[in-house]
Amino acid sequence: MTGRSRRILVLAALFLLFVTGCDQRGPDGEQVDPTEKIVIKFSHVVAEDTPKGQAARRFARLVQQRTGGRVEVQVFPNSTLYKDGEEMDALRQGAVQMIAPTTSKLSCLAPQWQLLDLPYLFESKEQVHQAMDGEIGQKLFATLEHYNIHPLAFWDNGFKHMTSSERPLVHPRDFAGLTFRVMINSRVLEEQFRCLGARATALPFSDVYSALAARQVDGQENTMSNIYSQGFYEVQRYLTVSNHGFMGYVVLTNATFWRSLPPDIRKVIEETMAEVTLWEREQAAGLNDKNFKQIESSGKVKIHIQTPQERVEWLAAFTPLYRQFTPVIGNELVEAVLRMKKNS
């Protein structure tokens, strides 16, 4: 070795020592170079003990384990970081890397997402999965790529039910003159209540409890896990088990961020997401059933289970909604669901 090569080797060794900071890294990969660490901020609006809350935590834990700590998913539940109306902008601007809003809230980007808001469109979660895991879901997902948003999965919550502080909601006429909170961004949900002779007020999820408690609105629609975990049942007097619409989530990431990830990391995230999605869908139904029993045994609300005859009455009241919104959502999508239901 020449003197010059030796000098280069010594310099290279010194440089390496300098950049690694004499760090004795353990073989378990737990300690990672902080400059290599990838942080994913996952912001959502619901409580931790809900289908979305539990799945986000599980996803975070598994990704961290499977990447040896290289990827850290930080979960911010309960609108602690961004609330409805803020989280989408935060994702698009790169302030957070993952969110999982309801399909209804995606209508601000593409009106096609209101498909899932059409009342009684789906009769079972299996039908919802068949649609969302197939061509219909693919078409809906494709609307997001246009906004530099990359969809990763469709998660369940479950079917929505009606609550009110004023009177039992048995027939369409019982809604007359009442005001209901609806999720932001969906015109279908607003019109749904107008079809019943009621008014609709769109509010972020984090404001719903106080609006109900202060009687700014008379009622709302939601799943059992949300009604229970947010304590809505404590400030409402009536609950109708109506199963009139499905609440599902799309796990989204910023497409620029997604493309910037190394391929091996993307693979781990995709595989983990697929696994957690199956787990989440299994958990969701059980958690909603459990929360319904907890609401029932609290004795705080009077529960009415909708009969098939009442369902027919409600559905008749919603007929104008289908006529009004099929062209907005797209004939093709609505017909694809109706065809799918006929053939299943």
Residues near ligand LMR, by CB under 6 A? 45-46, 102, 157, 183, 205, 222, 226
Closest distance of CB 103 from ligand LMR, Å:
9
**Nearer to ligand LMR (CB atom), residue 45 or residue 188:** 45
Q: What angle do CA 155, 62, 65 make, to 5 degrees?
A: 165
Q: Tell me the torsion sign for CA atoms 82, 154, 60, 292.
A: positive
Closest distance of CB 289 from ligand LMR, Å:
17
**Nearer to ligand LMR (CB atom), residue 40 or residue 184:** 184
Closest distance of CB 101 from ligand LMR, Å:
6
Closest distance of CB 165 from ligand LMR, Å:
17
Contact 85, 184 (CB under 8 A): yes
Residue type, 5: S
**Nearer to ligand LMR (CB atom), residue 97 or residue 288:** 288
Closest distance of CB 189 from ligand LMR, Å:
10
**Nearer to ligand LMR (CB atom), residue 45 or residue 333:** 45
The candidate with the shortest Cα–Cα distance to 242, out of 342, 164, 320, is 164
- Residues 159 and 182: their CA atoms lie apart, in Å, by 15
Residue type, 213: A
- In terms of phi and psi (left: phi > 0; alpha: psi -120 to 50; beta: otherwise), the region of 342 is alpha
- Residues 179 and 219: their CA atoms lie apart, in Å, by 7
The candidate with the shortest Cα–Cα distance to 244, out of 225, 220, 228, is 220
| Rg (alpha carbons) of the chain, rounded to whole number | 24
Helix (H, G, I), strand (E, B) or coil at 93: helix
**Nearer to ligand LMR (CB atom), residue 45 or residue 198:** 45
**Nearer to ligand LMR (CB atom), residue 71 or residue 119:** 119
The residue with its CB nearest to ligand LMR is: 205
Closest distance of CB 337 from ligand LMR, Å:
21
DSSP 209-221: HHHHHTTSSSEEE
Closest distance of CB 24 from ligand LMR, Å:
44
DSSP 103-137: GGGGGGT-GGGGGGGSTTS-SSHHHHHHHHTSHHH
Alpha-carbon distance values, 264 to 38, 74, 148, 269 (Å): 13, 20, 21, 9
**Nearer to ligand LMR (CB atom), residue 46 or residue 136:** 46
**Nearer to ligand LMR (CB atom), residue 107 or residue 157:** 157
Please report where in the chains the tokens 């539940």 appear, as a residue.
Answer: 77
**Nearer to ligand LMR (CB atom), residue 45 or residue 269:** 45
Closest distance of CB 45 from ligand LMR, Å:
5
Closest distance of CB 107 from ligand LMR, Å:
12
